[in-house]
């Protein structure tokens, strides 16, 4: 849902910045690589140490590269299959770093094995949710469903909660720290629902496609 409405808004906002980078000779692929490196560094440097506020700020600054690189490619008229592949692949790397960083915190100083497991589930389910759509499309199915919690929702829910939880270091009451565990449970449950939605959709579409092929074969 957020991907549908927020992407169009931020694309318009970031268009001048994308044009500026193109004028400076920066390539879309370079923005993709730098953005991913920044997200990974922010997640794996700050989150395992419990520095959620600064980790979230760093990640947020770089995560918008996912919108800038595509905008640059469209403006320059150089959209390509390679660019789409690189962007999608590195999105998975960035997502893994974010939830992996949270899992490392809970496995270490956070001292909560249950939440460590939930963070790992968020990491794994996010990868599988993306894979189900990509795999369904690769076998010729439309996979005409987005699902309850897509990548944008996973990132917004998790990062907002992490950033707010990190405000404890600035004197905000400690109860705000409960937002991050709640967010992880919400993302985990939403990802599971989304996975089920996509699997059910692929099963239905594949059955319809197989029936249509059999009907055409019989008619021939």
**Would you please indicate which residues are annotated as catalytic (active-site) residues?**
91
Between CA 51 and CA 72 the distance in angstroms is: 33
CA distance 200 to 138: 17
Exposed e or buried b per residue across 67-84, where buried means at least 16 C-beta atoms within 10 angstroms of its C-beta = bbbbbbbeeeeeeeeebe
With a CB cutoff of 8 Å and minimum separation 6, the contacts of 132 are 143, 195, 198, 199, 202
Contact 57, 163 (CB under 8 A): yes
Residue 66 marked ligand-binding: yes
Q: Is residue 32 part of an annotated ligand binding site?
A: yes
Dihedrals phi, psi of 119, to nearest 5 degrees: -65, -40
> 210: annotated binding-site residue?
no
CB of 88 within 8 A of CB of 148? no
Q: Is 31 annotated as a binding residue?
A: yes
Does the annotation flag 70 for ligand binding?
A: yes
On whether 29 is known to bind a ligand per the annotation, the reply is: yes
Q: Where do runs of H (alpha helix) occur along the chain?
A: 2-23, 28-46, 52-63, 65-76, 81-107, 113-138, 151-165, 179-219
- Answer yes or no: is 112 a known binding residue: no
| Bind-site residues for Mg(2+) | 66, 69, 87, 91
| Bind-site residues for a CDP-1,2-diacyl-sn-glycerol | 29-32, 70, 74, 80
| Bind-site residues | 29-32, 66, 69-70, 74, 80, 87, 91
């Amino acid at each position: 849902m957020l991907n549908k409405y927020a992407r169009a808004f931020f694309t318009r906002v970031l268009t001048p910045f994308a044009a500026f980078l193109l004028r400076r000779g920066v390539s879309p692929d370079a923005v993709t690589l730098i953005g991913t490196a920044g997200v990974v560094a922010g997640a794996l440097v700050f989150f395992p140490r419990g520095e959620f506020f600064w980790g979230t700020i760093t990640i947020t600054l770089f995560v918008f590269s996912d919108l800038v690189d595509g905008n640059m490619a469209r403006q320059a008229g150089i959209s390509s299959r390679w660019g789409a592949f690189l962007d999608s692949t590195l999105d998975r790397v960035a997502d893994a770093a974010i939830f992996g960083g949270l899992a490392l915190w809970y496995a270490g100083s956070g001292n909560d094995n249950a939440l460590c497991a939930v963070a790992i589930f968020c990491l794994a389910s996010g990868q599988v949710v993306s894979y189900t759509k990509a795999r369904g499309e690769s076998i010729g199915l439309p996979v005409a469903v987005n699902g309850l919690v897509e990548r944008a929702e996973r990132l917004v829910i998790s990062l907002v909660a992490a950033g707010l939880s990190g405000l404890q270091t600035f004197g905000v009451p400690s109860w705000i720290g409960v937002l991050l565990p709640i967010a992880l449970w919400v993302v985990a449950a939403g990802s599971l629902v989304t996975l089920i939605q996509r699997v059910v959709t692929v099963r239905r579409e594949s059955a319809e496609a197989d029936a249509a092929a059999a009907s055409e074969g019989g008619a021939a």
